Chain A
Amino acid sequence: MSDSISSLKARREFLRRLGGAAACVGAVAGAGTLGVMQKADAKGESAAAGGSFPTPDYDWTQHQWGYGIDATKCIGCLRCVEACKRENDVAGDAHHFRTWVERYVYLEGEDSPRIDSHHDPVNIEASGSEREYRFANRYKDAKVEKAFFVPKICNHCTHPACVQVCPTGATYRTKDGVVLIDHKYCIGCQYCVQACPYGARYFNERKGVSDKCTWCYHRITKGLQPACVEVCPVGARVFGDMKDKQSPMSQFVRNNRTRVLKPETGNAPNVYYVGLDKDVL
């Protein structure tokens, strides 16, 4: 009996200490977050509000942004997709995405992979809502030889076909290497949607204009990470300044053998991948 009481005490003590440690970690993390938030706040209101954009003291000639994706790390949790939708007010349905994740599954005896994404009706059924995303466990009874996830996003190309075809110049490439759309000038012809070989653009029906990923320009110009990078729990998404040789992005490109998607289009994408298979589209 006394053994069990002392064991209970020990467990309580352990839990108390664990709680304390967690509180400490929380406080440190909180302080860190607070620091970032204060940093953002110092330049205006919250990063997401957009009212302080463009950031007054931001010099776009001093940066060259780049984005890296390590497909071997992605676990298909889709936090990135949901974070992007919230951060950028993307329509909550299965047909408008600034970023999405593809799943490639090679089944035994089959020559080509089975490809799906969270917008697939089977996956939407599994999540129960067009506003929530998850990959249905649809291959649980099959013999899987190989499977992996590939996050997709606008490639912010150096020679963007979407910018080339825009009849008004409403979409343009910034000096720091981000392709943006002026929603107040776009006429909504959707020529850019057609021209993007990656399917990264969509039509924003509410605004009557084209829309796409901005690498969270309202955040990165305040020293923050894009929302998708921020929430990725496994570090599959990397973002940084290519002009800064010590940035995570410069290191990602330096330390890995990377490739880009559809290089034959001549668009010269700026999203670098590690761990792609030949079948990735």
Chain B
Amino acid sequence: MEALFHVAPYTGYVYPNETVIPWTVLIVVYPYLTGLVAGAFTVSSLYHVFGMERFRPAARFALLTSLCFMLFVPLPLLLHLGQPARAFNSTITPHWTSAMAAFGYMAIFYLGLLVLETWFAFRPYFVEQAQKGQGLAARLYRLLTLGSYDVSENAMRHDRKWIFALAAAGIPGAHGLHGYVGFIFGSLKSREWWSSDLMPVVFLFSAIISGVALLIVLYVVSCRLRRIAVDLPCLKGMAYTLWGFAMLTIVLEGLEFANIVYKGREGIEMIIEYVTGPLVIPFFVIQFGIGAVTPILILSYLIWRGTTGKALVVGVTVSALLVLLSVFMMRWNVVIGGQEIAKTGKGLLSYQMLFFGREGLLVAAVLTAAPLGLLAVMVRLLPPWRDSPAGGPAS
């Protein structure tokens, strides 16, 4: 039987109740998934709202990616709750002074928006498939059409307007959802490591880069699986987006850290001891060095040299993988790091991640990988690669 609780070893003085770390790796996975959703949606919106044609090959795929990840966003939270059966209490009777109370509403709103936009984007495909044969698949597609078979130019124009409106509303929706996750941490005054006005913004920008990076990797992998050439202008567009936002993110993260150190409020000695000790590898080396500076340098070089062809694909994909690692480490260093610095300001704890168990590494890894599995199924049901008459920007 799984132990009721797990004690974190510590040094210095920590409050007795602090020796059981409240938020585990699942709460690291949660903002990571939300971030990927917001970032992937950004790419989709660049095409659907801002009409950037170069993103066309990946736009509907981005939408599906966003949807698949969003479906899994509530799961780590649910698994973490002490009373998962009461999860909806916060939605039924929201306590509005809590940053967390809005989660149910924002998640439902955004999920609904994603489902609706996906439906509009794929409606012509549903109609087409529904009219083919009588098999199980055709019946499923008939169900998905919701009885609407009108794919005339007039109807498509109407659909495009809806897609535009939904995508436009989705930008504040997706980014609001993620900025709010940052607010959950940044608004807590009990932990110096979290309590920062910049936290929501840092979360937001790191979300964008993680989602764009994920899309780069998935798009390149999908091209290989489909044995087609990577659309270089599209890839380069995503690389530019990643490059620009990565620079913004690193500046914001640097500013946030500099603020903590420079203000040097109570407990700063312990923070310095922490960042120059246990945090050197995960924070400075992995998050900043390998995950942020390296991809910026690689992307800068690629853009400066005008690299193209296979070298561009490899360079951008490697950069994207590094950014994905960096953002995961950022989530880890915020969520776990914040709890490893004791509230006493006089001690450091050490989170011991379990492998098995409800809040172990295995569950966290499965939750992170599960949206990819769902996406693999989804692209077969709703192929995002084909051009859709409704898929274009509403210009």
Residues on B with C-beta less than 8 A from A200 are 17
With A164-B97, A199-B344 in contact, do A185 and B20 touch (Cβ < 8 Å)?
no
Instruction: Please tell me which one of the listed residues A119, A188, A202 contacts residue B83 in the complex, with CB atoms under 8 A apart.
Output: A188
Q: Mark A183-205, 1 if CB is under 8 A from B, else 0.
A: 00111111101111111111111
Cβ-defined contact, A197 with B190, below 8 A: yes
Q: Which of B1-52 contact A (CB under 8 A)?
A: 4-5, 7, 13-20, 22-23
Determine the distance from Cα of A197 to Cα of B17 in the docked complex, in whole angstroms.
12
Chain B residue nearest to A202 (CB atoms) is: B17
Asked if B191 is at the interface of the complex by the 8 Å CB criterion, the answer is yes
Q: How far is the CB of B345 from chain A (nearest CB, A)?
A: 7
Q: Mark A270-281, 1 if CB is under 8 A from B, else 0.
A: 000000000001
Residues on A with C-beta less than 8 A from B375 are none
Asked if A166 is at the interface of the complex by the 8 Å CB criterion, the answer is yes
Residues on A with C-beta less than 8 A from B100 are 165, 167, 189, 191
Asked if A100 is at the interface of the complex by the 8 Å CB criterion, the answer is yes
Cβ-defined contact, B13 with A115, below 8 A: yes
Q: Which of B80-127 contact A (CB under 8 A)?
A: 80-84, 86-87, 89-90, 93-95, 97-101, 103
Cβ-defined contact, A199 with B82, below 8 A: no
Cβ-defined contact, A197 with B189, below 8 A: yes
Label chain A's interface by main secondary structure: loop
Residues on B with C-beta less than 8 A from A191 are 98, 100, 184
Instruction: Please tell me which one of the listed residues B17, B18, B89, B99 contacts residue A185 in the complex, with CB atoms under 8 A apart.
Output: B89
Asked if B346 is at the interface of the complex by the 8 Å CB criterion, the answer is yes
Asked if A37 is at the interface of the complex by the 8 Å CB criterion, the answer is no
Q: Mark B334-345, 1 if CB is under 8 A from A, else 0.
A: 000001000111
Asked if A138 is at the interface of the complex by the 8 Å CB criterion, the answer is no
Q: How far is the CB of A33 from chain B (nearest CB, A)?
A: 31
Asked if A255 is at the interface of the complex by the 8 Å CB criterion, the answer is no
With A186-B83, A187-B86, A190-B22 in contact, do A201 and B343 touch (Cβ < 8 Å)?
no
Asked if A95 is at the interface of the complex by the 8 Å CB criterion, the answer is yes
With A190-B82, A203-B82, A209-B82 in contact, do A167 and B103 touch (Cβ < 8 Å)?
yes
Residues on B with C-beta less than 8 A from A117 are 13, 15-16
Q: How far is the CB of A277 from chain B (nearest CB, A)?
A: 14
Instruction: Please tell me which one of the listed residues B4, B19, B82, B190 contacts residue A161 in the complex, with CB atoms under 8 A apart.
Output: B190
Cβ-defined contact, A95 with B190, below 8 A: no
Asked if A266 is at the interface of the complex by the 8 Å CB criterion, the answer is yes
Asked if B155 is at the interface of the complex by the 8 Å CB criterion, the answer is no
Cβ-defined contact, A119 with B190, below 8 A: no
Cβ-defined contact, B83 with A165, below 8 A: no
Cβ-defined contact, A187 with B82, below 8 A: yes
Determine the distance from Cα of A170 to Cα of B16 in the docked complex, in whole angstroms.
24
Determine the distance from Cα of A208 to Cα of B83 in the docked complex, in whole angstroms.
6
Chain A residue nearest to B265 (CB atoms) is: A264
Chain A residue nearest to B8 (CB atoms) is: A95
Cβ-defined contact, A195 with B82, below 8 A: no
Asked if B297 is at the interface of the complex by the 8 Å CB criterion, the answer is no
**Sample of 12 more A-B contacts, CB < 8 Å, known A186-B83, A193-B17:** A115-B346, A116-B13, A152-B15, A167-B89, A185-B89, A186-B82, A187-B89, A189-B77, A194-B22, A198-B343, A203-B22, A204-B82
Can you list 13 A-B pairs with a CB-CB distance of less than 8 A?
A94-B19, A95-B19, A96-B20, A97-B16, A97-B17, A115-B344, A118-B16, A152-B15, A161-B188, A167-B94, A187-B87, A190-B22, A209-B83
5 closest A-B pairs by CB: A188-B82, A199-B15, A208-B82, A169-B95, A167-B90
